[in-house]
Amino acid sequence: MSLFPLDLLLKRIIRHGTLTVVDTTGRAQRFEGRSAGPHVTVRLVDPKFPRRMVRNPGLLLGEGYVDGAYVIEEGTLRDFLEVLMVSTATGEPAGIVGAIASRAASVLGGRNTLGRATKNVQHHYDIDHSLYELFLDRDMQYSCAYWRPGVTSLDDAQRDKKRHLARKLLLQPGMKVLDIGSGWGGLALHLAREHGVHVTGLTLSTDQYETSLRRAQAEGLSDRVTFKLLDYRQEAGVYDRIVSVGMFEHVGRQHFGEFFRHLDRLLKPEGLAVLHTIGRMATPGGINAWVRKYIFPGTYLPSLSQLSPELERRGLWMTDYEMLRLHYAETLKAWDERFQAKRAEIAARFDERFCRMWEFYLQSCEAGFRHRSLVVFQLQITKQIGTAPITRDYMYADAPAQPVAAPQPVAAARATASAKAPRKSPAKAAAPDGHVNGAKANGHAPARTRAKPAPTTAARPRSRAARPEQDG
């Protein structure tokens, strides 16, 4: 067997580290880059993989790993991804099919109509709740943490993210705050608890909605925090502050104008909003084909050049802009470390293929933030020129002398709420569709997979995302 035509592609792109590929007959071919990097050996298992890979590398690299079309014999998956990501930092080799698909995704950018948005949300966030509890922090923050110098704990970094956002929001007690894409409720509860504001959180994930209600009840904050299973486009209130963390990634390119039109509608004249989203420091383009198909369907990551014109058209002020570099790489690394520590337990509840899919998701996204153009944008937006201070000193004031109270773990909140009162039924939304907290990269799973009950005596769960032949 020959590596043709994969060998031609690898000769052209490998510029970092060393990659050795062993074909199904045992013949090895070595590809060396010009810069020092990891040494990785990959053995092919599927003889058809070289031709398939060349047609659409962005899709087939992930599919091949998950399906076992190749195995990594020397080095790790993280090493392998570094070799490829750094080597192709100036542009991903798309292949013929991949180039067409990428161009189409860039132009269309995700048509997230009301109905489609709910389906896309449920694809990722309404899988087994316990999976997220295994690798997220105590507060269930599924978005980029804020890694101050010297911080090594994920819990501390996520706490600092919430504090950083709160300072940018310039909160005053009694203010009404809208949290678009409120996830499992951690940020909304933090703002109400620490700043005395009234928060309305919007989500389209049933699991996130029900968990948030239980947490608010368990913490005695139900009078200050309201959660709705509702699309932001259907919200009728007007607010002093709006915050959206890790949700904008799910809006879709064609709906950027619609999002800012509703933000303008929902924000008071003297109001202020903070938008936290994954973005690209490069020119506009589609996301990785494998991530788009299996992990986050309908997702589009904006470039700053796509956001500024939308604000300008509506006469909105971008009173502050911050780019968080490498913060998400460190967050994803922390998530993956926690995932790997629980890998055997997760494999028993799901299966080994699910674990390979999940680790490829976490580690490939980490590589995108560490070696490619992925970053996080935080935009502060106002309607009036004088709403926010004209210097940034207030964002970096010393932390409060008294430590912020630790949030009650989600599992404990569930138990407390169950003991206090019967579980509430979700209120019906005006329409069963919309957007939700994202990548979240608050970014950041296969669809509708349900865990097997322990002990593992039930049949293996069926997972739409675990089937490469089905498009997400």
**Direct distance between the N- and C-terminal alpha carbons of the chain, in angstroms, rounded to an integer:** 33
140 Rama sector, left if φ>0, alpha if ψ -120 to 50, beta otherwise: left
Active-site option among 357, 365, 445, 465: 365
Active site (annotated) includes residue 355: no
Length of the chain in terms of residues written: 472
**Dist CA 187 CA 211 (whole Å):** 13
Backbone angles phi, psi at 318, to 5 degrees: -90, 90
**Dist CA 461 CA 472 (whole Å):** 17
**74 three-class SS:** strand
**Dist CA 411 CA 413 (whole Å):** 5
Cβ atoms within 10 Å of 145's Cβ, excluding its own: 28
DSSP string, 133-181: HHHS-TT---S-----TT---HHHHHHHHHHHHHHHHT--TT-EEEEES
Cβ atoms within 10 Å of 454's Cβ, excluding its own: 11
**Angstrom distances, CA of residue 109 to CA of 114, 145, 252, 273:** 15, 26, 5, 24
Cβ neighbors of 152 (< 8 A, separation 6 or more) are none
**Angstrom distances, CA of residue 192 to CA of 18, 155, 218:** 52, 19, 14
Helix (H) or strand (E) holding 187: helix 186-195
| Residues designated catalytic | 365
